[in-house]
Amino acid sequence: MFACEHCCTKMNKMIHTRDLIKRYKTDNYSTDALININIDINKEEFVAVAGPAGSGKTTLFNILGLMVKPDSGEVWFLDKKTSNLWDKELTNLRKGKISYIFRHFNLIDELTVYQNIELPLIYLKYKKKERKEALSQILKKLKIEHKKEMFPNQLTGLQQQITCIARAVVTKPSLILADDPAGNLNSEGGREILELLTDVNEDGHTVVLFTSSAAEAEKARRVIQLFDGHVVTDAKKDNFII
Ligand code: ADP
Ligand code: MG
C-alpha cells in the first residue's frame, strides 16, 4: 500500500526518491540546496554521491537518512513511503536499519571504544551475551581489539573513525550512510577508511558515501555527481575491478 506505485522493482530497492526539493530560507535570501532529485539505490550497492562544497551532499545525506524531510518530493526507504510518517515512526523505521558515519567522528568521550560500539546494541535491546559476541567479532574484524579499553581522546583520528565504522556495522544495518568520513584524515587514513567501507559493502551492506574527493568517489561502483543541488551525472562502472 505504501510502496511506490510507478516504477521500482520493489524487492531489490533500498532507496527510491522522486522530485526531492529542499530550500533553506533565511531572512534575506533562500538557497536551493536540492532540486528535483530522483535517485534509486538498490540493496547491496556501493554508491558515491560526489560534488564540491555546497553542492547539497549533506542535505541529501540527512534526507536519505530520514533525519530531515524534504520540502517536497518523496523518499521511499525499503519500499515504505516516508513523507506521511510521524517522527516516532521514522525513528522506528531507522532503528537498526540505517547507520551513519560523520566527518567529525562523534564518539562519546566518556565511553571506551568497547562501550561506544556496544551502545547501539544496548539501544536495540540485545542481550549481554549477544553484545559480547557481536563486539568480539567486530573488534577482531576491524583489528581494534587492543584499543577496546581506550577512550576516544587516546586514539588517532583514523582509530576514532574505525571505531565509528565498527559502531555503524555492529547492528548489521541495511544501509550505511557516510558523510565525508575521510574529511578529517590524511590521505593514508582516508585510503584505509575507503578500504573498510568497500569491505563493509562486500559483506552485503548497502553503502552510500558522500564526498568531495574524486579519488574517494572512484572507489565506489557507481558515482552520482551533484552540482548546485542538481544530479548532473549518475554512472555505473560495468567493469569495476577493486
Ligand atoms: P555540501 O555538503 O555538498 O557542502 P550542503 O548540503 O551542506 O552541501 O549545502 C548545500 C547548500 O545549502 C549550500 O549552499 C549551503 O550553504 C546551504 N545550506 C546548508 N545548510 C544550510 C542551513 N542550515 N541554512 C542555510 N543554508 C544552508
Ligand atoms: Mg557537507
Q: Which atom of ligand 1 lies nearest, measured to the CA of 53?
A: 4
Task: Answer yes or no: do 75 and 194 share one domain.
Answer: yes
Same domain flag for 9 and 89: yes
Q: Would you say the CB of residue 11 lies under 6 angstroms from ligand 1?
A: no
71 found inside a domain = yes
SS (H, E, C) 41-88: EECCCEEEEECCCCCCHHHHHHHHCCCCCCCEEEEEECCEECCCCCHH
Residue 122 forms part of a structural domain:
yes
Quote the ligand 1 centre to 114 CA distance (angstroms). 34
Do 146 and 66 fall into the same domain? no
Kindly state whether residues 41 and 78 are assigned to the same domain.
yes
Tell me if 151 is assigned to some domain: yes
Cβ 122 vs Cβ 132: under 8 Å = no
CA-nearest of 120, 165, 107 to 141 is: 165
Asked if residue 129 and residue 29 are part of one domain, the reply reads no
Give the model's pLDDT for residue 111: 98
Count: domains in the chain: 2
CATH number (domain holding residue 57): 3.40.50.300
Q: What is the CA radius of gyration of the chain?
A: 18
Would you say the CB of residue 31 lies under 6 angstroms from ligand 1?
yes
pLDDT in tens, the chain (242 residues): 444 554 544 568 999 999 999 999 988 889 999 999 999 999 999 999 999 999 999 999 999 999 999 999 999 999 999 999 999 999 999 999 999 999 999 999 999 999 999 999 999 999 999 999 999 999 999 999 999 999 999 999 999 999 999 999 999 999 999 999 999 999 999 999 999 999 999 999 999 999 999 999 999 999 999 999 999 999 987 654 43
Distance 34 CA to ligand 2 centre (A): 13
Query: Which residue, 148, 170, 192, sits at the end of a domain?
Result: 170
| Side-chain half-sphere CA neighbours of 22 within 13 A | 25
Ligand 1 binding pocket includes 53 (Cβ within 6 Å):
yes
Predicted pLDDT of residue 238: 64
Residue 102 belongs to some domain of the structure: no
> Same structural domain for residues 57 and 144?
no
Domain limits for position 126: 108-156+164-170
Ligand closest to 183 (CA) is 2
> What's residue 241's pLDDT?
42
* 187-192 LR contacts (CB < 8 Å, sep 24+): 189/156, 189/157, 189/158, 189/161, 190/216, 192/158, 192/162
Instruction: Enter the pTM of the model.
Output: 0.93
Cα–Cα distances (Å) from 171 to 17, 139, 217, in that order, read: 25, 13, 25
